[in-house]
Structure 1
């Protein structure tokens, strides 16, 4: 009798029982920042070639998951807005995503989806000797160990960014839906990554799957829209400087200080006033 086949995307057996685990988002800010610290300027330049240079400036080493959970719970799918009791609404749109992450807003749709033929053709090149997709942490180790910064490095870096930042799921492994994107590497800079990340979050929240999607955007978008005029940042390295993209100035200590001041209960936030308006996010596109 033949042994059960493995699913390449998950590395799991297709037959048999599996232990149930607590569902969680697999984004790892700490690992992302550690990886970026280890990258040489040449390898960071690869990100710039794909229009992802702002991500190389990320300083926030962790996520504050309770605020992300809360934002998921107050999301209104019909209007695509976060409805904050007594303080107004924050849109989930391309403009806000651009102002947080600074990723491209091109004219090409991100081709995120299963394509077995493309996967079969590319898998051995990216992961020689493996039969199934490696864990995302193994992918990060591979990137850190690479000395070259050609197309293979570029594809692995993009797969890691998708899996750890843009569209993390509850899986320990990168999604095989990344392969069609990697096959169109020359057009990555012309793809609309803002729309892709926003739509991924929207679809997850609409289906009450609050553990999926870009939590980095949720957290930074929220703290960046608050009125910080009454905040004392002296104990956390000072107030975040003026910036084009929220990903670059915020540290985890500054984020925690703001959220501590804003926390209303153990699971809700709304003490600080919101200084956000849509025109502010639109204005950042013109800086």
Structure 2
């Protein structure tokens, strides 16, 4: 993480060079969609309330990741919109992890309309999350972003 420069969005490896951390590198490494709509990753009280109702969780607070995974497992391989949304929420929590063990309600708007999920630019979302996390690193003691991408990028280098 010390090698990442949020201003240039590059991993700078001393005596080895620079590795761009851009949407194209995310696409090359992870194979995620690299075009389309901006991911709507922010709090929305109305959507959060509706998601809690749809998935049977208490209206206050956010379910922990274990409960969310158990709920998906209990869906018994259904392939309806509830399953697609639930699985997508776990994917976003992998791509933009928090320091907590709860599902981030910021991802609910991004998956609420199942028809839009495949039209989202996930690659740019990952890059934006990395930049955002590192730009505020001075005020925090931890990083919430797709550190996985930084590690894999450095490994490929």
Q: Deviations over 1:144-199 (max 9, x none)?
A: 22211211111110111111x21001021111111211222101111100000111
SS in 1 for 2:27: helix
Q: Assess, with a 3 A threshold, how the Cα gap between structure 1 residues 184 and 129 changes in structure 2: closer, same or farther.
A: closer
Structure with greater helix share of residues: 2
The partner residue of 1:130 within 58, 63, 70 is: 58
Q: In 2, distance between residues paired with 1:76 and 1:108?
A: 26
Pair 129,214 (structure 1): closer, same or farther in 2 beyond 3 Å: closer
- 1:129 is displaced (CA, Å) by 4.8
1:151-166 correspondence runs (5 A): 151-163=81-93, 165-166=94-95
Conservation of the 8 A alpha-carbon contact between 2:11 and 2:150: no
Structure 1 residues 88 and 176, CA gap change in structure 2 (3 angstroms): same
Give distance in 2, aligned partners of 1:137 and 1:90: 35
Pick from 11, 19, 29 the counterpart of residue 82 of structure 1: 11
Q: Distance in 2 between matches of 1:83 and 1:133?
A: 37
Report 1:133-144 matches (<5 A): 133-144=62-73
Say if 2:105 is the partner of 1:176. Answer: yes
Q: CA deviation at 1:122?
A: 2.7
Given the two structures, how large is their TM-score scaled by the length of structure 1?
Answer: 0.50
Distance of 1:133 and 1:170 partners within structure 2: 14
Give the ranges of 4+ consecutive aligned residues of structure 1 lying more than 4 Å apart after TM superposition.
none
Aligned to 2:125: 196
Counterpart among 40, 52, 76 of residue 111 in structure 1: 40
Rg comparison, structure with higher value: 1
Q: 1:108 to 1:129 in 2, by over 3 A?
A: closer
The gaps in structure 1 that reach 5 residues or longer are: 1-71, 226-287
Residues paired across the two proteins, number: 152
Quick check: 1:112–1:177 contact (8 Å CA) kept in 2? Answer: yes
Check the 8 A contact 1:136/1:173 in 2, yes or no.
yes
Distance 1:129 1:195 in 2: 31
Q: Is the 8 A contact 1:82 1:92 kept in 2?
A: yes
Measured on the aligned residues, the alpha-carbon RMSD in Å equals 1.5
**Greater relative contact order (Cα < 8 A, sep 6+):** 2
Please, what TM-score do these two structures have when normalized by structure 2? 0.89
SS where residue 103 of structure 2 aligns? Answer: coil
